[in-house]
A and B are shown apart, each in its own frame.
Chain A
Amino acid sequence: MLEIKGLHVSVGEFKISVSSLRVGDNDYFIILGPTGAGKTVLLETIAGFHVPQRGSIMLDGEDISLKPPHKRDISMVYQDYMLFPHMTVERNIAYPLKIKGRPWKNEVRRLAKLLRIEHLLHRYPSTLSGGEKQRVALARAVITHPKFLLLDEPFSALDPEMRNAARILVKEFIEDIKVGTLHVTHDFADAWVLGTKIAVMHEGQILQQGSVEEVFSNPKTDFIARFLGSANIIEGIVRNTKNGLTEIESNSSIIYSVDLASPREKVLVSIRPEDIVISTSPPSGSQRNVILGKIENMRKEGHIVWLLIKSGELSLKVMLTPNAVESLHLEEGKKVYASFKATATKIVRRI
């Protein structure tokens, strides 16, 4: 259990103050926040690279805030992995065990096998792809069974199309080795796929923390709402899969997705607000998903207009231009058709 209380740190232009944060040993805790929120500095402080001005960092009941980093038993993985360029992959992974003077050959083999990097052991880091580097860094970070694992934007150095596979690999790996993990990111997808708990960080402060569903469905402040507002997250149950289409039931509505899942699975689905088309008559296009609902709320924000559409228990956030709002004569209370493609409907997590 990692517990932070009344922590104040200032490093360069970053000022962080976290009044309270608790991460359990079985949590995969995600701190979500925009660039510059101070997420990396927070991790570095927990790892011991910066001395806090005030406050405590407790690990399993012991205050570690003044302990030197190498005695904390907390491993940190940076976004660009920081593999030691002068060591082979094998030496990199073995390094923490060698420091402790423990045998390493078998343990390196075991982890390499688990992460499917056995064939890379004799290569040097400069010859690896981003995904390979990440797996090596993970193996190196957990080989001594640290009490905690800190991940700093672990997927941002990967190609976007590789990220999802990497997330699933990391998720399964962390579940396998069972280590409390604190992961900071600006990418929502990390939170949906991996997080058991999340917190939102802004300008050095934690604004809200809780389960993924809780925080996404009940943002406490305007900032959180705006920051998280860029997606609709819907919980549902898979009814069946036919011809490459997955049928998901959510709040008595049916949503189709091209992402595959097995029947009776509980899933989280995301639909981006800009992918939803609004019309006043039934749409004639190819959209698989058509939902008839009522405009519950309309809010103008710069050059976009946010609509909240309600259909029974289901609510959808939609993003439109002021022109579209005008030409469709939209107003609060009006009935509209919200339609979106099955390809725009992503299954982000199986619960």
Chain B
Amino acid sequence: MKDYTFPFLILLLTSYFFGIWVFLPLAAIVSLLFYFEKKSISFFLIFLLALPSILFMPAGFLGILALIFLAEKDNFYRVAYFLGSLFLVFILFPIINLLLYTTPKAFLDPALLHAIGISFLAATVATLIALLFSLPLGYVLARRNFWAKGLVESVIDIPIVIPHTVAGILMLLVFGSTGLWGKPLEEWGIRFYYALPGIIVAMLFVSAPFLINQVREGIAKIDERYEYTAMSLGASRWRVFFEIILPQIKGNIMSGAVNTWARAVSEFGAVIMIAFYPMIAPTYIYYLYTNYGLHAALPATAFLLLLTLAIFLGIRFAGRRMHNA
């Protein structure tokens, strides 16, 4: 028998904050479900104890406690379920709350669609560049031991720990129009300041560590004797890398790339320092909020949230299917 207690506790608790019109019907459904699941009439107490919320909302909370006490017999788990579900509600309630502001209007806002396009393009390019560096770097870190290796590994993690606006300033200083690298590159026609390449380097800086670390972990898990064996069978080091190592770390590359892409596409602080324009999606929402107020920003924000969730869940689902296959 499947255990429905925790997920339905989360649902019921979340619904509570949307008021009785959501809470009471859900309490009724939960009562019925557990009645059919466990063949015990006592589960109707959940609905009965939730009913007084019509008169006084906090009273309905007893219905939630009834679910915990009736469905779970272990006191330790009762407490853990309750506290655990509170945190999930802390994430889920604001998200669902914002999604209520979704309107078709957002689809028709060309500026928003353009910003999303820039976001996705820049994040994808940043991920590909990160991949290019993470393969050799991950290999060296996984296979060789050298002096100050710990320090080198820490350097790779620096972009994760420093504040993002600081990261943005770092990039601006070297890639800006007067920067050591930015100036000559601009003379060759590659402009970073207020341009797409600037967005890409900012995203790359803050997100590449995820991919590098994943690739390193993946390679470290492959017994070096696979490489030796392949070499003794006539494969050069290059062949071994592409034919023996790479296929075995596909999963690490995929999940590292997803993390890097997700991190890049959600970056805001580092990007606005070097390129407020062209606007990426988070910058556009910030722009709407600061110029036209919260309510003007809500539809675009809700749309972006919906899109991000769809991509995130889609990749998770695809990843799980790939894993099971």
Q: Which residues of A contact B (CB under 8 A)?
A: 44, 47-49, 68-70, 72-78, 80, 82, 84-86, 95-96, 99-100, 140-141, 144, 150
Report the bound CA distance from A69 to B237 in whole Å: 9
Contact B225 A86 (CB under 8 A): no
Residues from chain B with a CB closer than 8 A to the CB of A100 are 234
Q: Which residue of A lies closest to B239 (CB)?
A: A99
Report the bound CA distance from A134 to B170 in whole Å: 55
Check A96/B234 contact, CB under 8 A, given A84-B244, A85-B248, A86-B247: yes
Tell me whether chain B's interface is mostly helix, strand or loop, or mixed. helix
Residues from chain B with a CB closer than 8 A to the CB of A49 are 228, 231
Residues from chain A with a CB closer than 8 A to the CB of B248 are 84-86
**12 A-B pairs (CB sep. < 8 Å):** A49-B231, A68-B236, A69-B232, A72-B232, A76-B228, A82-B226, A84-B244, A85-B248, A86-B247, A99-B233, A99-B239, A140-B233
Residues from chain B with a CB closer than 8 A to the CB of A75 are 232-233
Contact A74 B232 (CB under 8 A): yes
Interface residues of B in 53-97 (CB under 8 A from A): none
Q: Which residues of B contact A (CB under 8 A)?
A: 223, 225-226, 228-237, 239, 244, 247-248
* Cβ of B225 to closest chain A Cβ, rounded Å: 5
Contact B232 A76 (CB under 8 A): yes
* Cβ of B219 to closest chain A Cβ, rounded Å: 14
Other CB < 8 Å A-B pairs besides A48-B232, A99-B233, 4 of them? A70-B234, A76-B232, A82-B228, A99-B239
Report the bound CA distance from A288 to B232 in whole Å: 50
Residue from the set B223, B225, B230, B235 with the largest chain A CB neighbour count within 10 Å:
B225
Report the bound CA distance from A68 to B59 in whole Å: 78
Partner of B231, one of A48, A85, A141: A48
Residues from chain A with a CB closer than 8 A to the CB of B223 are 82
Residue from the set A69, A72, A77, A141 with the largest chain B CB neighbour count within 10 Å:
A69
Partner of A99, one of B225, B228, B235, B237: B235
Contact B228 A44 (CB under 8 A): yes
Q: Which residue of A lies closest to B231 (CB)?
A: A69
A-B contact count (CB 8 A): 62
Q: Which residue of B lies closest to A50 (CB)?
A: B228
Residues from chain B with a CB closer than 8 A to the CB of A78 are 225, 228-229
Residues from chain A with a CB closer than 8 A to the CB of B247 are 86
Q: Which residue of A lies closest to B228 (CB)?
A: A49
Residues from chain B with a CB closer than 8 A to the CB of A48 are 231-232
Report the bound CA distance from A82 to B228 in whole Å: 9
Cβ-closest 8 pairs across A and B:
A69-B231, A76-B232, A82-B229, A96-B233, A86-B247, A99-B234, A70-B231, A47-B232
Partner of A69, one of B225, B228, B244: B228
* Cβ of B223 to closest chain A Cβ, rounded Å: 7
Report the bound CA distance from A228 to B244 in whole Å: 40
Report the bound CA distance from A175 to B116 in whole Å: 68
Q: Which residue of A lies closest to B222 (CB)?
A: A85
Residues from chain B with a CB closer than 8 A to the CB of A150 are 232
Report the bound CA distance from A96 to B239 in whole Å: 11
Contact A47 B235 (CB under 8 A): no
Residues from chain B with a CB closer than 8 A to the CB of A140 are 233
Q: Which residue of A lies closest to B236 (CB)?
A: A70
* Cβ of A238 to closest chain B Cβ, rounded Å: 41
Report the bound CA distance from A67 to B248 in whole Å: 28
Residue from the set B225, B226, B233, B244 with the largest chain A CB neighbour count within 10 Å:
B233
* Cβ of B146 to closest chain A Cβ, rounded Å: 15
Residue from the set B225, B230, B232, B234 with the largest chain A CB neighbour count within 10 Å:
B232
Q: Which residue of B lies closest to A143 (CB)?
A: B233
Residues from chain A with a CB closer than 8 A to the CB of B225 are 78, 80, 82
Residues from chain B with a CB closer than 8 A to the CB of A144 are 233-234
Contact B232 A84 (CB under 8 A): no
Check A141/B228 contact, CB under 8 A, given A86-B248, A99-B239: no
* Cβ of B67 to closest chain A Cβ, rounded Å: 43
Report the bound CA distance from A140 to B230 in whole Å: 10
* Cβ of B222 to closest chain A Cβ, rounded Å: 9
Residues from chain A with a CB closer than 8 A to the CB of B244 are 84
* Cβ of A331 to closest chain B Cβ, rounded Å: 53
Q: Which residue of B lies closest to A150 (CB)?
A: B232
Contact A70 B232 (CB under 8 A): yes
* Cβ of B117 to closest chain A Cβ, rounded Å: 36
Residues from chain A with a CB closer than 8 A to the CB of B228 are 44, 47, 49, 69, 76, 78, 82
Residue from the set A86, A141, A144 with the largest chain B CB neighbour count within 10 Å:
A86
* Cβ of A284 to closest chain B Cβ, rounded Å: 55
Residues from chain A with a CB closer than 8 A to the CB of B236 are 68, 70
Report the bound CA distance from A78 to B239 in whole Å: 20
* Cβ of A96 to closest chain B Cβ, rounded Å: 4
Residues from chain B with a CB closer than 8 A to the CB of A82 are 223, 225-226, 228-229
Report the bound CA distance from A80 to B247 in whole Å: 20
* Cβ of A222 to closest chain B Cβ, rounded Å: 34
Check A70/B229 contact, CB under 8 A, given A85-B248, A86-B247, A86-B248: no
* Cβ of A100 to closest chain B Cβ, rounded Å: 6
* Cβ of A39 to closest chain B Cβ, rounded Å: 15
Report the bound CA distance from A84 to B239 in whole Å: 14
* Cβ of B212 to closest chain A Cβ, rounded Å: 22
Report the bound CA distance from A84 to B228 in whole Å: 12
Report the bound CA distance from A84 to B225 in whole Å: 11
Report the bound CA distance from A99 to B235 in whole Å: 6
Residues from chain A with a CB closer than 8 A to the CB of B230 are 84, 95
Q: Which residue of A lies closest to B232 (CB)?
A: A76
